[in-house]
């Protein structure tokens, strides 16, 4: 391996046919840089540093499987991976991904301080739920849903990123997490994931999504100020988080109930699938007593007043998603 790889990954450095612009940050696995190809198209370059390439090859295995999943299971609400491999000059494993200039959800929450507008929060939640429906259908559990891993396109579409510590049902990666191993971000982890991250299912992602949605609405996590052990102890005792309406009374009761259901300590009490979460999010544009959609939502959804039409449209959208994704992949592949 080239010992000068660190000198390559600096502004102005060249990695393959890419020119490094700047470092963007670190993900669940590897370091991410903003780069440009010879035509000036910007992209995100993610590399697995040699210091991470250890532990009997488990990190390399996860890194390769992350790329394989992203290249195969494309979706409009997942960050696209365009290329992946191992650089011959440096020996570094890499992913080349789309660059999303809209920043992260973490940054958006920081600017909002006391919570996002309800309609914006619901819109972001809908995008994330679509992504979770897709990864669940492809046999994967993300295991690190948090605001840092939700990125935005220039026009505000939310995309789920960073599958570095995900659990795949197919392939050897199911063995890449040792039994009783704990991985993830403690502030967002489901109680069962804090105990053993190996055998968690989509309900752990739903819990993390619920904590994130609470933060979107209230401007703070429901477990803010607690350490992971305190949160886990309370969960074992059956303690549930306070209703988000206690911090923000204008949150619709249906939305507050969804957040509460998603973050229940016992996974058997949570929504059983991402599709059920998505259905309930879409239902939030219904004309409930404490929530009338704003003008922008009404303009896009002129049928929102008809509950039967709304629910039927949601079910139809879920049923046709496979066809839409096939077309999406074909178009992207052809480009």
102 closest CA partner among 159, 162, 152, 158: 152
CATH number of 9-98: 3.30.200.20
Contact 100, 79 (CB under 8 A): yes
Q: What is the pLDDT of residues 80-101, one digit of tens each?
A: 888 888 888 888 888 898 999 9
- For 131-143, write each residue's pLDDT tens digit: 999 989 888 888 8
pLDDT for 170 equals: 44
pLDDT averaged over every residue in the chain:
79
Q: How far is CA 244 from the centre of its chain?
A: 21
How much is the pTM?
A: 0.77
Q: What is the DSSP letter of 142?
A: -
Place of tokens 């958006």: 108
| pLDDT band with cut points at 50, 70 and 90 for residue 123 | very high
Amino acid 236: pLDDT: 81
Q: Could you report the per-residue pLDDT of 33-72, keeping only the tens digit for each?
A: 999 999 999 999 988 866 544 554 566 767 777 777 667 7
- Give the per-residue pLDDT at 108: 95
Mean pLDDT of 248-275: 96
Residue 316: pLDDT over 80? no
User: Nearest Cα to 269, choosing from 196, 191, 183?
Assistant: 191
Q: What is the pLDDT of residue 53?
A: 47
Q: Which fold has domain 105-324?
A: Transferase(Phosphotransferase); domain 1 (1.10.510)
The sheet with strand 93-98 has its strands ordered as: 14-15, 18-26, 31-36, 42-48, 93-98, 81-86
What confidence category does residue 179 fall into, taking pLDDT thresholds of 50, 70 and 90? very low
Task: Name the 3-class secondary structure at 23.
Answer: strand
Domain 9-98 matches domain 105-324 at the CATH topology level = no
| Residue range 223-234, pLDDT digits in tens | 887 777 888 888
3-state secondary structure of 140: strand
Distance CA 55, CA 279 (A): 41
Report residue 25's pLDDT band, with 50, 70 and 90 as the boundaries: confident
Domain definitions of the chain by residue range: 9-98, 105-324
Rounded (5°) CA angle 234-231-275: 95
The catalytic residues are: 144
């Amino acid at each position: 391996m080239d010992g000068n790889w660190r000198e390559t990954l600096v502004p102005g450095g060249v990695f393959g046919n890419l020119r490094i612009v700047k470092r963007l940050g670190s993900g669940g696995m590897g370091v991410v840089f903003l780069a440009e190809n010879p035509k000036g198209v910007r992209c995100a370059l993610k590399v697995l540093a040699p210091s991470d390439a250890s532990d009997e090859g488990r990190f390399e295995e996860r890194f390769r499987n992350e790329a394989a999943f992203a290249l195969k299971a494309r979706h409009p609400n997942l960050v696209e991976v365009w290329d992946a491999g191992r650089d011959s000059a440096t020996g570094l494993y890499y992913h080349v991904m789309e660059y999303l200039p809209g920043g992260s959800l973490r940054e958006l929450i920081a600017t909002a301080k006391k919570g996002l507008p309800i309609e914006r929060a619901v819109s972001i939640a809908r995008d994330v739920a679509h992504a979770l429906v897709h990864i669940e259908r492809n046999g994967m559990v993300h295991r690190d849903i948090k605001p840092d891993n939700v990125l935005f396109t220039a026009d505000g579409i939310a995309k789920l990123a960073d599958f570095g510590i995900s659990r795949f049902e197919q392939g050897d990666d199911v063995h890449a997490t040792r039994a009783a191993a704990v991985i993830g971000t403690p502030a967002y982890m489901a109680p069962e994931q804090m105990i053993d991250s190996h055998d968690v299912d989509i309900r752990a992602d739903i819990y993390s999504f619920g904590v994130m949605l609470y933060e979107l609405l209230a401007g703070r996590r429901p477990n803010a100020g607690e350490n992971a052990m305190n949160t886990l102890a309370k969960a074992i005792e059956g303690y549930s988080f306070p209703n988000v309406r206690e911090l923000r009374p204008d949150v619709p009761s249906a939305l507050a109930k969804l957040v509460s259901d998603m973050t229940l300590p016992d996974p058997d009490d949570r929504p059983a699938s991402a599709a059920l979460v998505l259905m309930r999010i879409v239902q939030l544009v219904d004309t409930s007593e404490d929530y009338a959609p704003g003008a922008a939502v009404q303009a896009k959804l002129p049928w929102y007043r008809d509950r039967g039409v709304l629910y039927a449209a949601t079910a139809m959208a879920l049923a046709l998603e496979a066809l839409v994704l096939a077309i999406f992949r074909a178009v992207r592949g052809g480009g």
